């Protein structure tokens, strides 16, 4: 019933088709409000779809127990507690599947989605109360998942990328991957900003290579950012290999392209870049390159204000907490302690 509900705006007001209960109408209006928010505030279509999936999943749980989103608030709060804390599938094999409990951040997000719906429905007079207010707050550990790459392993992994292979396509893939990883580690930018680079964003001025980041978080951009010498050389070498593969490059052509025969020249997807990280560095979590950038910048003596600017943090406090969390993963004076207590 709900999946068929539509909201049609007519001169006389809104008309609902495919469903008529207050719950159906509340959900339809809530989702429409999410989609109609000004650009930059509503989130992506994928985000709105995730909101819809979360709420409909919770409703399906209620319907299975002969309840609905307008049931008694205490009952709904108990059901929401179970829903928010449900485990997720970590991986599947032929006969089994592994489950893992949700992180505090995931639980907080689920709670926020349900509360958003109920707050909206109460405000619009469709439902009587927000049962999510009866739940205890969920403490989210700040930057709980930050984890830089081991620098010795990183050096080894980069050195093993076979950029001088006599096989043209093997060499091209290696040169591309090395340039991509180098730029990520040298700039600290997010995956989307890197993935959406076009060749028109790359300029050579004198002996330096400059990159314009036009698709940063929140619609921001940064033009003409000079990158490191070796990274610039790696990027220019990839441009030469790219030309040999596709024949010509326009300013709006993607920097990072597919090299598989059927998809030759197409822009690499985010998942494809994550796979490059997995194959070359042993992790599919691209964000770890950003964590590594932050740690190395601090080790190099870069001022926190400059690191904050590079990471697009809004305040120095955010960057300070970020770096503190990264440092917390190391045991202070570990080797000195070993020597004192006699660990050999």
Q: What is the pLDDT of residues 277-331, one digit of tens each?
A: 999 999 888 888 888 888 788 777 777 777 676 666 666 676 676 666 555 545 4
**Can you tell me the distance from the alpha carbon of 243 to that of 265, in angstroms, rounded to the nearest whole number?**
10
| Residue 100: other Cβ atoms inside 10 A | 10
The ranges of the chain with pLDDT < 50 are 1-3, 7-16, 39-42, 91-95, 140-143, 329, 331-332, 334, 337-338, 341, 343
Q: Between the CA atoms of 201, 205, 208 and 210, what dihedral angle is there, to the nearest 10 degrees?
A: -20
pLDDT at res. 324: 65
> CA–CA separation, 181 vs 197, rounded Å?
14
């Amino acid at each position: 019933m709900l999946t068929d509900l539509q909201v049609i705006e007519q001169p006389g007001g809104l008309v609902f088709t495919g469903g008529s209960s207050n719950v159906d109408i509340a959900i339809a209006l809530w989702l429409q409000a999410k989609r109609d928010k000004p650009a930059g505030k509503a989130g992506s279509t994928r985000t709105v779809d995730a909101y819809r999936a979360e709420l409909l999943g919770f409703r399906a749980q209620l319907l299975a127990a002969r309840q609905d989103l307008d049931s008694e608030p205490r009952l709904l709060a108990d059901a929401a507690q179970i829903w928010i804390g449900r485990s997720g599938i970590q991986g599947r094999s032929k006969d089994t599947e592994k489950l893992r409990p949700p992180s505090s951040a995931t639980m907080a997000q689920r709670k926020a989605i349900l509360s958003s719906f109920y707050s909206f429905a109460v405000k619009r007079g469709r439902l009587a109360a927000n049962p999510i207010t009866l739940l205890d707050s969920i403490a989210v550990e700040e930057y709980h998942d930050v984890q830089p790459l081991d620098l010795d392993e990183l050096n080894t992994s980069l050195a093993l990328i076979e950029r001088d292979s006599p096989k043209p396509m093997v060499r091209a893939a290696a040169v591309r991957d090395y340039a991509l990883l180098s730029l990520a580690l040298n700039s600290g930018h997010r995956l989307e900003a890197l993935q959406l680079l076009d060749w028109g964003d790359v300029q050579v001025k004198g002996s330096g290579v400059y990159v314009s980041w036009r698709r940063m978080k929140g619609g921001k951009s940064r033009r003409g950012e000079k990158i490191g010498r070796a990274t610039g050389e790696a990027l220019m070498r990839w441009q030469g290999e790219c030309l040999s593969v596709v024949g010509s490059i326009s300013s709006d052509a993607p920097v990072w392209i597919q090299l598989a025969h059927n998809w030759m020249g197409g822009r690499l997807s985010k998942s494809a870049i994550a796979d490059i990280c997995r194959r070359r560095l042993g992790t599919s979590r691209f964000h770890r390159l950003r964590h590594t950038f932050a740690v190395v910048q601090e080790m190099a003596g870069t001022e926190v204000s400059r690191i904050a600017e590079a990471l697009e943090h809004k305040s120095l406090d955010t960057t300070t907490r970020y770096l503190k969390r990264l440092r917390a993963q190391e045991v202070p004076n570990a080797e000195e302690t070993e020597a004192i207590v006699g660990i050999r």
